[in-house]
Amino acid sequence: MKYFWIQLVLVLGAGTAALIFIRRWDRTNTRAWKRIAFVLFVLANIYAVLRPNDVTWVANRFGVGRGTDLVLYLMVLALAFLALNTYLRFRSLEKKLTDMARTVAITEGARLNQERFDEKVSG
Amino acid sequence: MSQYDDVWLVIPAYNEGQVIADVVENARKTFPNIVVVDDGSTDGSAEHIMTTGAHLVRHPVNLGQGAALQTGLSYALQQPGAQYFATFDADGQHQTHDVEKMVAVLRDGTADVVLGSRFIEQSEQVPMIKRVVLRTAAAVSPTARKLKLTDSHNGLRVINREAASQLRITMNGMAHASEIVGLLAKSSLRVVEVPVDILYTDYSRAKGQSLINGVNILFDISLRERGRR
């Protein structure tokens, strides 16, 4: 029970971050934060490799058993964000592609159908 | 001149070359105005459509049924005199006499949107598993409940010009049915359901979407970017 609150905060924090992320994933600010988070993540990894005992100490403070477990949890989070980010990016690309294809289809279709039905009338 | 000159049928078609020409010609006996959206088919559907009297609009690449519907609606909205718009399946499971019935409801002016339902009557025709899943979908969906729908995933809909101009389908895939219901629930449009007859032929059974696709629909809908359009 002694770590219950810190665990609750961590889980809720991750959930909130994900929600905020979905809503404004493509704004300039969010893009900057994504990059900052990435750099911090890399730096933290280098530190963890050099001083594993420190990671265990941090992990204990947060109520996680071992340092490697903490790294694992963070990796799961990072991976989840990566997947979400990629999904949203593809959705946005798909939307642009759709708008473009629709414009082409309607312009072309209008021309084609006019030709088809004019021919029928005159022929 | 026909009494249905102001009605446009929008038929999205993806690799329906086998049946599309028959379905279109059959529907054209009643409805002179039809636009078929060929959603990047690779089976020569376009050639079959060209032999009919329907307008043809071709997506250069396959985008999905939702995208095809929106393209067809946008195209039909540009046609002079178009007042009513029907979404109709390419596999021959919808029937024109149902569309006539639905257009009549719109002409009365008591509704802006008429949705077909398989469950008001004759629900025995729907295969059993499908029936259970579809009824559950309609029962648990908050938007479908708000509109008191019995069938939230029926492809047969007739809407008036006002509703068609408001509709913006952004879900390219099969999630568009849920999306449309959601958009209707948020709008001030008047929605009613009308019983329709769906012909479950072997062809339409084989072409119909599998139930596991419901998982994809739930996923897409829950990850929509809210409030950003």
Q: Rounded CA gap, A50 and A44, in Å?
A: 10
The predicted model gives A92-109 an average pLDDT of 93
**Residue whose structure tokens are 């250069």:** B60
Mean pLDDT of chain A: 82
Assess: ipTM above 0.90: no
Nearest residue of B to residue A22 by CA position?
A: B225
- Interface of A to B at Cβ within 8 Å reads 22-23, 25, 87-88, 91, 94-95, 97-98, 101-102, 104-106, 108-110, 112-113, 116
Q: What is the pLDDT of residue A123?
A: 45
CB atoms within 10 A of CB B13: 27
Residue B193 host element (H or E): strand B191-195
Q: Could you say which of A87, A101, A109 has the minimum Cβ distance to residue B61? A: A101
The predicted model gives A40-68 an average pLDDT of 84
| A90 exposure class (CB count in 10 Å sphere: 0-12, 13-18, 19+) | exposed
Mutate to test the interface with B, among A102, A103, A117 (most CBs of B within 10 A): A102
Q: Is the pLDDT of residue B180 over 70?
A: yes
* pLDDT tens digits, one per residue of B107-144: 999 999 999 988 876 666 677 777 777 777 777 777 77
Q: What is the pLDDT of residue B75?
A: 96
Structure tokens at B93: 């499971």
* pLDDT tens digits, one per residue of B10-62: 999 999 998 999 999 999 999 999 999 999 999 999 999 999 999 999 999 99
Please answer whether residues B33 and B5 qualify as being in contact, where contact means their C-beta atoms are separated by less than 8 angstroms. yes
Q: Rounded CA gap, B142 and B12, in Å?
A: 27
Please answer whether residues B86 and B163 qualify as being in contact, where contact means their C-beta atoms are separated by less than 8 angstroms. no
